[in-house]
Each structure stands twice: as C-alpha cells, then as structure tokens.
Amino acid sequence: MMNLNRRLIAAGFIACAVCLPGFELKADKMSGFQFSFDGFDGNPLPLNRFRDRVVLVVNTASECGYTGQYAGLEKLWQDYKGKGLTVVGVPSNNFGGQEPLKGEQIKHFCTLNYGVTFPLADRTDVVGRTAHPFYKWAIEQAGEKARPRWNFHKILMGRNGDITSTFATAVEPTSTEVRAAIDKALGAGS
C-alpha cells in the first residue's frame, strides 16, 4: 500500500510539473534547453530547437533607452549564426512599462526599425513571482548576476545548455567582452 501511495504522489507531482507553462519534462539533467517561450507568432519557441548551439537570451523592450541594442543583437546574429550562435529576444514589460507591444506588433517593430531576423518570443515576465521558469532556473544556476535588473540584460548559454556568462544592460551586444564570451563558448564544444 505504501508503494502505491508513493507512486500516486509521484504521478501527481509529474502531472503538475508538466502543466507549468514553459516547462518541459526531460530525463536528462536540467539545462536551458528544457524551456520554451511563447513565440511572437503565437507558436511555441522551444529552446531545445537550438540544442548544440550557443544561445544568447536577451530581455528586450521597444521603448527603452537601450532599444538601439536591437541593431547590435542583429549584428551578432548575422556575424555568428553560421558559426553556431542563436540570439533569442524575450520582450518584457517588467521595467518601466517600456514594452507595450505584443505578438506580431513586436516583430513588426523590430523588423521595421532594426531589421531583426533572429527569433523573438512574445512579451514575457522575466522577474518577480510571475517570471518565466527560464529566468528562475537561470538565477538558480548562475546566482544574482542572472537576474535582469533592466531591459537588455543578456544570458549566454553554452552548447550543453549551461549558463556560461551574463552581461548587464549597459554592455553592448557587439562589445569585445560579449564577443570574447561567445567565441569561447563556440570553441568549447566544436
């Protein structure tokens, strides 16, 4: 009877975990590739689509003083996508209400103003109680440096889905610091 109760409790836990938005249950160790965002187009944007690539996840906003960093992110994407980097933009309205757009509006804004072609999520909470599970996991993995303090905070994941670096908002995407971290992550698994 005790084993049956344990199995029922475990089955209930698994059923609840599978229902969490943004969470995918996998047998292997937890990595950034376990998570999925809602895409700007309403379709899922699973990070496991980029498995074995280096992934730069950036929370973005269209009405921020740092919005011009979209151009730098697109430059990184163009420079490195053939070498194994994927840039993923995660628009967020958590800081100063600076992302009023949703869905296709986000893609239209980014394409029209910055020529963005890299993958974009729909508007997503990145901090607080309602933060997307990816961001909660990132803090568990890399500590407070993984917690966005403002728009355009950057989290770099290696090919294995582990966090290799984080960059504060003010660090430009095309900076020597970001490029060196990308080069190192690309070289570690080539």
- What's the confidence (pLDDT) of residue 78? 98
- What's the confidence (pLDDT) of residue 188? 66
* pLDDT tens-digit map of 101-122: 999 999 999 999 999 999 999 9
* pLDDT tens-digit map of 41-75: 999 999 999 999 999 999 999 999 999 999 999 99
* Residue 4 DSSP code: H
Residue 190 has pLDDT above 50, yes or no: no
The residue count of the chain comes to 190
Query: Going by C-beta distance under 8 Å and a sequence separation of 6 or more, which residues neighbour residue 18?
Result: 25
3-state helix, strand, coil in the chain (%, to 5): 40, 20, 40
Greatest extent of the chain over all pairs of C-alpha atoms, in Å: 63
Residue 21 has pLDDT above 70, yes or no: no
* pLDDT tens-digit map of 120-176: 999 999 999 999 999 999 999 999 999 999 999 999 999 999 999 999 999 999 999
Q: Domain extents for the chain?
A: 24-187
Does the annotation mark 110 as catalytic? no
Element (H, E) at 95: none
Q: Which CATH class is domain 24-187?
A: alpha beta
